[in-house]
């Protein structure tokens, strides 16, 4: 199948050697859906850049960046933004300016592949595993709060190390693709007016071309397992565990109210609010990522067993629609934070409106650092929370 126009493209998903003709210069996809997707993704990405910049500004405030959860959310905002930003120059040039009607200029060939496919795939892979890291961090903090692993997850330093590890793994898992193609500059008659224009021939390097079936089969099986299916499966299980724990915590909160232990009840409610917000973020992620996993699996089966489950037009349309949904999910994270996190709203509002600080705490909000629920296991759970675990606005 041809290149999709936005993130997580399915470039080379139909990976038999005869699918890479060299008889004519390189073209970008130019169906009506591709053009519409190019326009829409440009608009969505521009809004996403604005909202994610706001998220980073809010979470980088001194009282917010002390939480490992917020550090992971900052990294997630950066990777999702870059996933959409890399294809932006190509979408603007080829679709907004209409250059898709002619051959790809020689100077754009390698840049096009990097910006449309390779770099977005790397950063999207990173954003997927950062989402898994976020869910794991919250699960360990909520469900195993007294364990050694929980204490390790509560440090910003360890969260930063995990983020770096995710980024390195994402780069290494796709870096070889930068060398799989060879682009040759040619002069060719224009498709518009017949005059000679700069163009390029797009071919696989000899080694990849000789083993195209094996090469792309291995790569896409690896990708669908470790970038799509496995993360989705892990997130489903973690979300289910968090929902179960939240139900127990809500029952615990009601019991605390009966005993008039309002301070513990308030801390538990704030912890539940943070957990619920992250559950919604992960739920939105699963909603848009699962269809992409299904498309990948279908296309792999289509190629390996030489079936016709997906015709090129349908797969291109499905990919464009799913990619747009993924971009929209990046945009709505900001509104999830605003709707479900009082601390985020207060800090965001504080960017524009000056408020007097509390004379006692220096902050308008108190929340639990990490979440010291001690497994939500009994009436004495919150009475045992040490004061060192309670910090001003330590978490979203």
Can you name the residues that pair with 368 across neighbouring β-strands? Answer: 390
pLDDT digits (tens, 9 = 90+) for 359-390: 444 443 323 333 333 333 333 333 333 333 32
Closest of 156, 377, 369, 146 to residue 267, by C-alpha:
369
Q: How far apart are CA 270 and CA 142, in angstroms?
A: 12
Both structure tokens of 392? 């001003």
Q: Given its phi and psi angles, is residue 370 left (phi above 0), alpha (psi -120 to 50 degrees) or beta?
A: left
Q: Which residues contact 390 (CB under 8 A, 6 or more apart)?
A: 267, 366, 367, 368, 369, 372
Q: How far apart are CA 148 and CA 289, in angstroms?
A: 32
Residue 300's pLDDT is 80
Both structure tokens of 309? 């489950």
Domain boundaries, the chain: 17-348
Alpha-carbon distance values, 39 to 90, 92, 172, 267 (Å): 11, 8, 31, 45
Q: What is the pTM of this model?
A: 0.80
Contact of 64 with 393, CB cutoff 8 Å: yes
Can you name the residues that pair with 198 across neighbouring β-strands? Answer: 187
Contact of 293 with 124, CB cutoff 8 Å: no
Secondary structure element (H or E) that encloses residue 187, with its range: strand 181-189
pLDDT digits (tens, 9 = 90+) for 123-150: 999 999 999 999 998 888 877 776 766 6
Closest of 27, 78, 121, 24 to residue 319, by C-alpha:
121
Residue 58's pLDDT is 95
Residue 3's pLDDT is 39
Alpha-carbon distance values, 18 to 11, 23, 65, 159, 212 (Å): 15, 11, 52, 46, 9
How does 21-50 read in b/e, with b if 16+ C-beta sit within 10 Å?
eeeebbbbbbbebbbebbebbbebbeebbe
Contact of 25 with 103, CB cutoff 8 Å: yes
Per-residue pLDDT of the chain (396 residues; tens, 9 = 90+): 333 333 344 444 334 334 444 568 999 998 888 899 999 999 999 999 999 999 999 999 998 888 898 999 999 999 999 999 999 999 999 999 999 999 999 999 999 999 999 999 999 999 999 999 999 988 888 777 767 666 777 789 999 999 999 999 999 999 999 999 999 999 999 999 889 999 999 999 999 999 998 898 899 999 999 999 999 999 999 988 888 887 776 666 666 555 555 565 566 566 677 788 888 999 999 999 888 888 888 888 877 777 766 677 777 788 888 899 999 999 999 999 998 888 898 899 888 886 554 444 444 332 333 333 333 333 333 333 333 332 333 334
Residue 142's pLDDT is 78
Judged by DSSP in three states, 183 sits in strand
Q: How far apart are CA 101 and CA 42, in angstroms?
A: 18
Residue 155's pLDDT is 87
Q: What is the dihedral of CA 188, 191, 196, 198, to 10 degrees?
A: -60
Residue 267's pLDDT is 63
What would you measure as the largest C-alpha separation in the chain, in angstroms?
A: 85
Residue 394's pLDDT is 36
Judged by DSSP in three states, 361 sits in coil
Give me the CATH code for the 17-348 domain, please. Answer: 1.20.1070.10
Contact of 104 with 200, CB cutoff 8 Å: yes
């Amino acid at each position: 199948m041809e290149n999709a126009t936005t993130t997580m493209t399915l470039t080379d998903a139909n990976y038999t050697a005869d699918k890479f003709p060299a008889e004519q210069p390189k073209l970008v996809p130019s169906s009506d859906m591709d053009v519409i997707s190019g326009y829409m993704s440009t608009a969505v990405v521009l809004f996403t850049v604005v909202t994610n910049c706001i998220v980073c500004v809010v979470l980088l405030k001194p009282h917010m960046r002390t939480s490992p959860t917020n550090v992971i959310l900052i990294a997630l905002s950066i990777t999702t933004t870059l996933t959409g930003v890399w294809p932006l120059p190509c979408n603007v040039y080829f679709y907004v300016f209409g250059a898709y009607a002619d051959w790809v200029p020689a100077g754009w060939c390698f840049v096009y592949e990097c910006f449309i496919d390779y770099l977005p795939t790397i950063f999207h892979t990173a954003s997927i595993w950062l989402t898994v890291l976020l869910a794991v961090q919250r699960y360990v903090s909520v469900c195993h709060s007294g364990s050694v692993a929980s204490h390790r997850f509560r440090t910003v330093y360890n969260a930063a190390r995990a983020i770096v590890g995710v980024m390195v793994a994402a780069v290494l898992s796709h870096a070889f693709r930068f060398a799989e193609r060879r682009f040759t500059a040619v002069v060719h008659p224009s498709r518009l007016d017949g005059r000679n224009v700069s163009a390029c021939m797009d071919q696989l390097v000899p080694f990849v071309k000789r083993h195209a079936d094996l090469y792309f089969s291995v790569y896409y099986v690896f990708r669908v397992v470790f970038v799509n299916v496995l993360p989705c499966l892990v997130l489903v299980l973690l979300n289910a565990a968090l929902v179960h724990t939240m139900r127990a915590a809500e029952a615990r909160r009601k019991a605390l109210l009966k005993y008039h232990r309002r301070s513990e009840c308030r801390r538990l409610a704030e912890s539940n609010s943070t957990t619920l917000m992250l559950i919604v973020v992960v739920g939105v992620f699963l909603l848009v990522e699962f269809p992409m996993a299904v498309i990948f699996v279908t296309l792999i089966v289509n190629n390996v067993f030489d079936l016709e489950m997906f015709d090129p037009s349908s797969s291109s349309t499905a990919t464009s629609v799913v990619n747009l949904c993924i971009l929209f999910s990046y945009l709505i994270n900001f509104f999830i934070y605003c709707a479900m996190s009082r601390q985020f709203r207060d800090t965001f509002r504080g960017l524009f409106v000056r408020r007097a600080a509390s004379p006692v705490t220096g902050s308008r909000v108190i929340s639990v650092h990490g979440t010291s629920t001690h497994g939500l296991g009994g009436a004495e759970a919150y009475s045992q929370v040490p004061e060192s675990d309670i910090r001003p606005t330590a978490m979203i």
